[in-house]
Amino acid sequence: MPSLIKQYLMITSTYWVFTITDGALRMLVILFFHQLGYNALDIALLFLFYEFFGVVTNLIGGWLGAKIGLNRTMHLGVLLQIIALAMLTVDNSLLGIAYVMFAQALSGIAKDLNKMSAKSSIKFLLPKESQQGRLYHWVAFLTGSKNALKGAGFFIGALLLSLFGFQESMMIMMAMLIIILIIGLIFLTQDIGKSQSKPKFKELFSKSRAINILSAARLFLFASRDVWFVVAIPVYFQSVLNWEHTEVGAFMAIWVIGYGIVQALAPKLTHLNKKEIKSIPSGKTALFWASLLIIFPLIIALQLYFHLFNFQWLTSSGITTNEVIIVAGLILFGIVFAINSSVHSFLILAYARNDGVSLDVGFYYMANAAGRLVGTILSGSVYVWFGLEACLLISSAFLALTAIISMALPHPHSKTS
């Protein structure tokens, strides 16, 4: 097997195993602490440091990756996740908000070190301009498979909680990560991502207009998703629709798995030929999918406010019209969002410099993490104070801003990038 493919498979395998534990941990924390009596705002606070330190990690992690290499930052991410899980194996009486926030902070640092390392590495494996179409396919597959497995992690987290309990679930996931860390240390031998020049700390902030615009669009795109998806939807399903733990976990898992599959298929869904450079995504591609995305949370919000639809035939089944509209809206939102996200993931690598790519990718994912942070805070606070409808309206507003910003995105081969 060619060395390049071996390295790609090792990076992808590490990313996959890490992602399963990351998704499972998120669902375990949401369901377990809701079970203990925490409200949506309290649960959102548990993820505050997770998202905040994601912002910091992506900024510094890009610089660190350029300095010491991306394989080392990937291994460091796995090690930090093991420590975070170990912290959560303590007795329930010790699991206060501050303690769990600190453990989640380590997990957030770990997740973004791992993601930045995996995504940046692909640029080095396919660096030539003539391979941009193939780069889109490889990035789409890596991103899509990651999200599919994160969805599986949601279900696994809910299942582990039901079968073993919270602390025991942490130990099982620690064992998974220890195994993949040992394998990675043995087989991930190629030194990837070190900058030829000594990266300076002041270079953390991107000087590229294209990357700055894309990062701004990414911030509002992910804030638009997390403002209703992270906390509001799982809590709404449990408290208003009376879904069981496993039902919430199964739906969230299926949604994210489907989301990941669509991401992996994005090159085919956007009718792009990987052999043709001219057919790669551009700023116009991102603008189209962001504009289309606006309508879905808006329709769901209008349904919850004004009851626009009333499916009489559902009465005998015990399923409400609102339930059908929310689930259907989430599915359609996920399909369009996945394509938009996949286009962004390609554009950042296309815009990034070959020397010091992790600096550009780190800055971009800093904006991604900032959007998640904003969305997470709003998801809990707005839901508690104003309800799911307000979360959905804010989502549509953020998507409108994403579309407006995307209008300024250049083509990857434009000199302005």
Answer whether residue 199 shows pLDDT above 60: no
Q: Please give the pLDDT value at position 415.
A: 42
Tell me: pLDDT of 87 over 90.
Answer: yes
What is the pLDDT, as a whole number, of residue 216?
A: 92
Spatial distance between the Cα atoms of 224 and 347, rounded to a whole number of angstroms:
20
- Three-state secondary-structure class, residue 294: coil
pLDDT for res 36: 81
- Cβ distance 221 to 402 under 8 Å? yes
Here the tokens at position 341 are: 């996200």
Q: Summarize pLDDT for 103-141 with one digit per residue, the tens.
A: 988 998 998 888 877 777 776 665 555 455 666 677 777
Tell me, what's the pLDDT at 144?
Answer: 76
Q: What's the pLDDT at 132?
A: 59
Rounded distance between C-alpha atoms, residue 17 and residue 53, angstroms? 21
Give phi and psi for 416, each to the nearest 5: -75, -10
Position with higher pLDDT, 251 vs 395: 395
Note the pTM of the prediction, 2 decimals.
0.74
CATH architecture of the domain formed by 3-188+205-406? Up-down Bundle (1.20)
Taking alpha carbons only, the member of 334, 103, 347, 95 closest to residue 224 is 334
Whole-number average pLDDT of the chain:
81
94-98 mean pLDDT: 83
**Which pLDDT band, with edges at 50, 70 and 90, does 397 fall under?**
very high
Please tell me the distance from the alpha carbon of residue 66 to that of residue 98, in angstroms, as a whole number. 33
Dump pLDDT digits (tens) for 283-299. Answer: 788 899 999 999 999 99
How many helices (H) and strands (E) the chain has is answered by 16, 0
Distance CA 200, CA 211 (A): 19
Task: Quote the pLDDT of residue 152.
Answer: 82
pLDDT of residue 123: 65
- Of residues 248 and 413, more confidently modeled: 248
Structure tokens at 171: 């130990």
Q: What angle do CA 73, 74, 80 make, to 5 degrees?
A: 85
Phi, psi values for residue 243, rounded to 5°: -80, 150
What value does the mean pLDDT take over residues 35-55?
A: 78
Which H or E run contains 190?
Answer: none
H/E stretch holding 119:
helix 97-125
Say what the pLDDT of residue 393 is. 95
Is 90 exceeded by the pLDDT of residue 207? no
